[in-house]
Amino acid sequence: MANLLSYVLFLALRTFAAPPEYIQVWPGGSTPAPRDPGNDTVGPSLVPPPGTSKHAPHSIIIGVRKGGTRALLEMLDIHPEVAAAATEVHFFDWDENYAKGFEWYQDQMPYSYPNQITVEKTPGYFTSPVAPARIHAMNSSIRLLLILRDPTERVISDYTQVYFNRLENHKPVQAIENMLVKNGALNTRYKAIQRSLYDVHMRNWLQHFPLEQIHIVDGDTLIHDPLPELQRVERFLDLPPRIVASNFYFNQTKGFYCIRSDGHERCLHESKGRPHPPVNSTVLRQLRLYLRQHNRNFYRLIGRTFNWQ
């Protein structure tokens, strides 16, 4: 008898419970209606909270890759008046996405309330030759966020990400020195190095936007003392001050700050903050020497310096 009752209960739960992959929690804590299992062609039936809608972003985190963009977005998302896009959209830097049109782009944005601003993050925009003009065509007064870190460390972090990605996909890998050096000289055409030429990419952006519309976040400072950097971002975006020191705590195991918000704690994905491989000192010196003049050019462009080696 007990077995029969258990089986009946199982059937009832299977019939009326929505499959977990159809459940999505929206900002504000509401949950959309489950998908009709009999109509698999239309996808999930998503019912947003009343009073919300999708908007083009009010601000975009344009880069740089391996500069701390994910940390910046996650920390900024603490603010109750920020609605952050969940994924990197790559609308302005990938031709195949840009061809889908502006309506497609706006549909990738999260639902937001009237008092919220929408923020999108795609690190590839900063180094894209076409993204600045395309973003300007959408909104010439948009506010842009650019997070940068020591360009040499960024190169090594870039290599590290690719290295682990290739390992996970069972692809061959090379030592970092083999990527940085070619025919006995620094391989300046290596993509990771090209992405660290901040002055080259910044000139492209300044052809379309005034410097006042581009707020530069110090990625090295954000890692060690996030609150002051987030407060500067709040002011730049005209947001009321809502992010406080208690929103952050230092995780001794991971070695960086994690987030505490709405009674929950979360850290960045384990792929973030991976240890860097050791680099031959001579090669490292060549890399720093090459980037040094580009750093100086960048400082002159923005009227500000950083503690980069």
Could you say which of 66, 100, 171, 182 is catalytic? 66
263 is in an annotated binding site: no
275 is in an annotated binding site: yes
- Partners of 120 in the β-ladder: 60
70 is in an annotated binding site: yes
272 is in an annotated binding site: yes
Contacting residues for 99 by C-beta, under 8 A, at least 6 apart: none
274 is in an annotated binding site: yes
User: Which amino acid is it at 75?
Assistant: M
- Of 115, 129, 118, 303, nearest to 200 (Cα)? 129
C-alpha R_g of the chain: 23
- Dihedrals phi, psi of 232, to nearest 5 degrees: -65, -40
* Residue 188 DSSP SS3: coil
166 is in an annotated binding site: no
The token pair that represents 272 in the structure block:
């973030």
Question: Containing H/E element for 15?
Answer: helix 2-16
- Partners of 118 in the β-ladder: 83
69 is in an annotated binding site: yes
The answer to whether residue 66 is catalytic is: yes
The token pair that represents 51 in the structure block:
């009073």
* Residue 214 DSSP SS3: strand
The residues annotated as belonging to the active site are: 66
Binding residues: 66-70, 149, 157, 257, 272-276
Binding residues for 3'-phosphoadenylyl sulfate: 66-70, 149, 157, 257, 272-276
